[in-house]
Amino acid sequence: MRPSDLALLRTPSAPTLTPDGRLVAVAVGRIDLAANEYRAELWLTPTDGSAPPRRFTSGRRDVRPRFSPDGRWLAFLRAGDDDKPQLHVMATDGGEPRQVCQHQLGVEGLAWSPDSTRIAYVARVPEEGRYGTDKDVGPEKEPPRRITSFQYRLDNVGFTFDRRPHVFVVDALAEGAEPVQLTRGDYDHGHPAWSPDGTSIVFVSARHETRDEDQISDLFVAPAAGGDAVRVTATDLVADRPAYAPDGSTIWFVACEPDLAGRPTVLWSVPADGSGKPERLTDPERFDHDPAFGAGILPLLVDDDAVTTISLDRGAIRLLRFPVDGGEPTELLGGRRTVHDYDAAGGVVAAVVSDHLSAGEVVVVEGTGERTLSDFGAALARNASLRPMEELEATAPDGAGVHGWVIKPAGTGPFPVVLMVHGGPFAHYGWTLFDEAQVYTGAGYAVVMGNPRGSAGYGESHGRAIVGDFGNLDSQDVLALLEAALQDPDLDGDRVGVMGGSYGGFMTSWLVGHTDRFRAAISERACNAFDSFEGSSDIGWSFVPLWNGTDPERVLAQSPLTYADRIRTPMLLIHSEQDWRCPVEQAQRLFVALRQRKVEVELLLFPGEGHELTRSGLPSHRVARFEAVLDWWARHLTPAG
């Protein structure tokens, strides 16, 4: 795979079924390198496989399709030239889409009412005079922001306290209908879901007194016609993704413990009238229903007997039915694959499923049979020699097992090696097509990657093993995985580099400060100094105390910058100028420290980008980053000896 092959990627998402299960619609995203932008259209296909998928819309970027419960209408979000997605509705049998409402900052999500007449959705409401509400006042002329809270901005979004997301309800079938704003106040709101009788809407918000000092969120229920909301959870969890049981008496949701660090997200239920306390259904040592990165809409599909959702499992993401009485779950889709999005209707389950050689296809399950309906990956497969992931097991010095993979180039070695470390840390590498690994393998490098302690998908104890102790067990794990991989004679142990982004950038900077094992390193969007990260990152105020502790000496001891005087390894530092998750000073401080010590170091800065450059940055920037990475490895790993 080459950097330019990004244009061949087709990424399906958000499958939605007609109520009879006969048709499935899906958004298919692609990268237009010539126009330097992302595009997406909706595709439609019969679930019996009688016809191939056909393109159903032709907007610039159409996403998040949802069929109405009666199957007559398809709602979706369409982004125009202003890049602000607006709510649209069109007939299932075709015709022109109609825009339902207009919001200055666009719409973020949607849910049909049970009677197929109304749509609940989320939209940010800007303060007057900001974000284009006054056409004569540009961003540089807006009044200053008075900030009095920890939680006032978010990477890839911007400032948030002056444009809160609120829940609206609109008559989707009446042309020119005015939306009703269901929520108000200085609170964030999200994930609306309708009660079965259509009279109430449950949503997620944080309205407790200490909401600025923690990550706790609650479920609230409000009348769909407008009125006061009632809290139904106990303000002791980080609640999300609510869904009503069919009889309306219970609300199911996912949640994790409020300290967050290494905590899996599991299933809970609560009486819809708020008369009881939430009860947990699934075990955090066995299940985790939040894939963190690359997540889709991930609804909870609730019927009388079970709740259907995903769960992480050693690099795979499975789709499971969890009995409401607490029995063992039934696997709907499993194996060495990743389930991204899903829906169920009419006895059919539809899902977007990827594996190590596929970015995702539409798969349906009916009865005991499974059928793949699409071939969106055909163009990439024809033009690139994608390489398989080979599973790898290693043992850390303390006897702990380490799970990972190696991807080798075609041909015979020995190949130079790149050790990759994922972000998070509570995230994971897994059984899905990873464009970065394929590009590096395509250039002749063997890629080693895995899930050290601190990663998700191996139980709560595994995830929390590094809390307050970054750089110890986790670094031992990744080095053990590397040494296990190097037992293969096709891998050249004398030509090894290390790279990673975010937490993976931290680990890269940490490793080169504690070993001379690597010929070169690439540390991207890294956290290198937790003291300044705590005050400058959008999440630093909570991340550092939760993951690293509050003892200043201990925090300093876990920071790679503390060991800059030990670094001799040539380093390429890649960062985005508008990164608010790991602010650019994290790279600048390490760059200056290494330059002062005459260590070979380069700093590559991307203008206008945030923390998500490698996943959703400007296409031309993603290609330029790939070219810079390959140039660096060619200079430091390819030469013999």
What pTM, to 2 d.p., does this model score?
0.96
Q: Over pLDDT 70: what percentage of the chain?
A: 99
pLDDT value at 436 more than 90? yes
- Looking at the 3D structure of the chain, how many domains does it have? 1
The beta strand positions in 33-117, using DSSP E, are 37-46, 54-55, 61-67, 73-79, 85-91, 98-99, 107-112
570 found inside a domain: yes
Question: How far out from the chain centre does Cα 254 lie?
Answer: 16
pLDDT tens-digit profile of 15-72? 999 999 999 999 999 999 999 999 999 999 999 999 999 999 999 999 999 999 999 9
pLDDT tens-digit profile of 186-204? 999 999 999 999 999 999 9
The sign of the torsion formed by the CA atoms of 579, 589, 514, 471 equals: negative
450 found inside a domain: yes
201 found inside a domain: no
517 found inside a domain: yes
Quick one: 400 exposed, middle or buried, by C-beta within 10 A (0-12, 13-18, 19+)?
middle
429 found inside a domain: yes
pLDDT band at 566 (very low <50, low <70, confident <90, very high): very high
pLDDT of 639: 61
- Identify any residues that bridge with 578 across adjacent strands, giving them in sequence order: none
- Identify any residues that bridge with 269 across adjacent strands, giving them in sequence order: 252, 279
pLDDT value at 390 more than 50? yes
119 found inside a domain: no
106 found inside a domain: no
pLDDT of 612: 95
pLDDT band at 293 (very low <50, low <70, confident <90, very high): low
430 found inside a domain: yes
CA distance 258 to 238: 6
β-bridge pairing 491-501 and 520-524: parallel
Q: What is the CATH number of the domain that holds 465?
A: 3.40.50.1820
DSSP assignments along 356-397, one per residue: TTEEEEEEEEETTEEEE---TTHHHHHHS----EEEEEEE-T
Cis before 414 (ω within 30):
yes
pLDDT value at 137 more than 60? yes
The order of strands in the sheet holding 200-205 is 189-194, 200-205, 218-223, 230-231
Q: What domain range includes position 393? A: 387-636
Mean pLDDT over residues 397-424, rounded?
97
pLDDT value at 641 more than 50? no
Report residue 430 as tokens.
Answer: 């897994």
